[in-house]
Amino acid sequence: MVKGLYTAYTGMINEQHRMDVLTNNLANANTNGYKKEGATAQSFKDQLAYKIKDYTDAPYTARGLGVITPGVKIGETYVDWTEGPMKETHNTFDMAIGGYGFFGIEYTNKAVNIERDEANQTNIMYTRDGNFTLTSEGVLVTQDGDFVLDQDGGHIELDPNKKVEINALGEILQDGEVVSSVGIFDFEKTTYPDGRISYDTLEHYGENMYVTTDDTVEIDATGQLYAGFLEQSNVSVVDEMVQMIAVQRNYDTNQRMITTVDETLDIAVNQLGRLS
């Protein structure tokens, strides 16, 4: 019966984790280029129950009774890299990548956070959010003021007084001449048996950005750039809400199981064997 309490408890913890992931997805349903996350669950490794103090086989030797799986453990959190829908904005500096690839950003944290111990630390990060703008000095930056990188990893500087055109290769033209290019970067991916493709060597930094690891291998990008468009989040609000209802019901079921086991233990401890 105590194992029943433990099993239900682990089920509640797992459903709570799934709820956290779902609510984060819903919070980013309108975030440009956001990729929804999912959570998996795993059974605990088979545990062997022992019958101790049984001297029929050999003195002080534990004898196996059978195999049990007491509860569930939180599995891996994964990212769904499915491309989100495109939204036309008619703004030249709004960009979206069709296919695989990322924009390179020279990101500077504006304040201390859980990832950076000091403010103004600069790192190269990658994102699918192409909501950019051109400063009065002619530098292409994100909405937070971080530099957008060209294919060589440098800053993109343009003449702010001239008309800008951007083609599908990411080349930036002014007066009919290529003056710079928007960098599109891609990395080796893992293909799973179910056909799912994942960037397992990228780490989610937050703020809709990703960072590379020591195992990340850069490859030639095949994605095309679409100026005047933004990639929307691939989160389906309806699907997330349906999953939230299922998670809540699973949580309530485990909660009722704990109540039932607790009542059973109360009867076993306080009522069975009572002398009238």
For the chain, domain boundaries: 2-79+236-270, 86-231
> Residue 266 — φ and ψ, nearest 5°?
-60, -40
Q: Higher model confidence: residue 142 or residue 114?
A: 142
User: pLDDT digit string (tens) for 55-81?
Assistant: 565 555 656 666 666 788 888 888 999
Q: What's the mean pLDDT in 166-189?
A: 94
Q: What's the mean pLDDT in 228-236?
A: 96
pTM attached to this predicted model: 0.82
Q: What type of residue sits at position 137?
A: E
Please state, for a pLDDT cut of 70, what percent of the chain lies above it.
89
- What are the CB-based long-range contacts (under 8 Å, 24+) for 202-205? 202/126, 204/79, 205/107, 205/115, 205/125
Say whether pLDDT at 53 is over 60.
Answer: no
Please enumerate in sequence order all residues whose Cβ is within 8 A of that of 28, keeping only pairs 6 or more positions apart, or say none.
Answer: 34, 36, 208, 233, 235
Place of tokens 């959010």: 129
Q: Higher model confidence: residue 41 or residue 255?
A: 255
How much is the pLDDT for 193? Answer: 87
Band (pLDDT 50/70/90 cuts) for residue 205 is confident
Paired with 191 in beta bridges are: 197
Q: What's the mean pLDDT in 85-106?
A: 95
List Cα–Cα distances, 138 to 97, 131, 147, 155, 230, in angstroms: 22, 16, 11, 11, 21
Band (pLDDT 50/70/90 cuts) for residue 221 is very high
Mean pLDDT (the chain) is 88
Of 89-93, 173-177, 234-238, 260-264, where does mean pLDDT reach its minimum? 260-264
First-to-final CA distance of the chain: 26
What kind and span of H or E run contains 66? strand 63-68
How much is the pLDDT for 62? Answer: 58
How much is the pLDDT for 125? Answer: 94
Closest CA to 251 of 2, 8, 1: 8
